[in-house]
């Protein structure tokens, strides 16, 4: 995997911070109490840093060894270098798992196991992955949302698509979140969502 540069993270961070704050503020109102979160493919940890500011106590970020520890916006001891292609093994369980714009970087033959990893980490998964023709660095498995939905369904997770419509016209949110972000919930936890009836 080609490392992203300091310039890449710097340019991206402002819009990512805005998106994380906007999306997570709404999401935390819908979910039961979230006191822990893991972000697989966390980059410098922007989404986790946002959760920390919102009172989430236990966080863990996982990404490749190419992430410069000096650029992290989360405590260095809460960052775990990992290779998603070879699989990651985390014994802890979390209230929320985040995995945004990562899955398209993995070979198709790793997709099912990768979704199994995410669903093993938490019963609520905030997920996005690049769609076909989106383009990007090292994208090798761009898929429509239905592809990922089937993989989550096979693990007894149900997909919810209410975030995209809420942010679709907000140009301050990066387009890839606006077009790709979904929430998946373990079917036995559905009644814990604070959705309007």
Angstrom distances, CA of residue 67 to CA of 9, 61, 76, 82, 124: 10, 11, 11, 10, 26
Superfamily the domain 6-190 falls into:
Vaccinia Virus protein VP39 (3.40.50.150)
Tell me the C-alpha distance between 195 and 35, whole Å: 20
The angle, 0 to 180 degrees and rounded to 10, between the axes of the packed helices 145-153 and 111-121 is 60
The pLDDT tens digits along the chain (197 residues) read: 445 555 555 555 678 999 999 999 999 999 989 999 999 999 999 999 999 999 999 999 999 888 999 999 999 999 999 887 777 889 999 999 999 999 888 889 999 999 999 999 999 999 999 988 887 777 888 899 999 999 999 999 999 999 999 999 999 999 999 999 999 999 999 999 987 64
Residues 6+ apart with CB under 8 A from 31: 95, 96, 124, 192, 193, 194
The angle, 0 to 180 degrees and rounded to 10, between the axes of the packed helices 46-53 and 6-30 is 40
What are 93's two structure tokens? Answer: 């369980």
pTM exceeds 0.85, yes or no = yes
Residues 6+ apart with CB under 8 A from 165: none
């Amino acid at each position: 995997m080609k490392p992203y540069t300091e310039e890449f993270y710097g340019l991206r961070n402002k819009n990512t911070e805005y998106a994380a704050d906007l999306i997570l503020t709404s999401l935390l109102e819908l979910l039961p109490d979230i006191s822990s979160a893991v972000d697989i493919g966390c980059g410098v940890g922007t989404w986790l840093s946002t959760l920390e500011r919102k009172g989430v106590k236990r966080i863990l970020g996982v990404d490749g060894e190419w992430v410069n520890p000096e650029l992290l916006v989360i405590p260095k001891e809460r960052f775990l270098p990992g290779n998603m292609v070879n699989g990651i093994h985390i014994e802890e369980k979390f209230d929320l798992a985040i995995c945004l714009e990562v899955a398209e970087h993995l070979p198709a033959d790793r997709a099912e196991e990768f979704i199994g990893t995410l669903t093993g980490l938490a019963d609520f998964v905030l997920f996005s992955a690049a769609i076909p023709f989106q383009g990007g660095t090292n994208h090798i498995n761009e898929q429509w949302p239905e592809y990922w939905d089937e993989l989550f369904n096979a693990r007894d997770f149900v997909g919810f698509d209410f975030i995209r419509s809420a942010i679709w016209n907000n140009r301050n949110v990066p387009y890839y979140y606006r077009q790709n972000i979904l929430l998946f919930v373990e079917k036995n936890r559905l009644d814990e969502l604070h959705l309007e009836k």
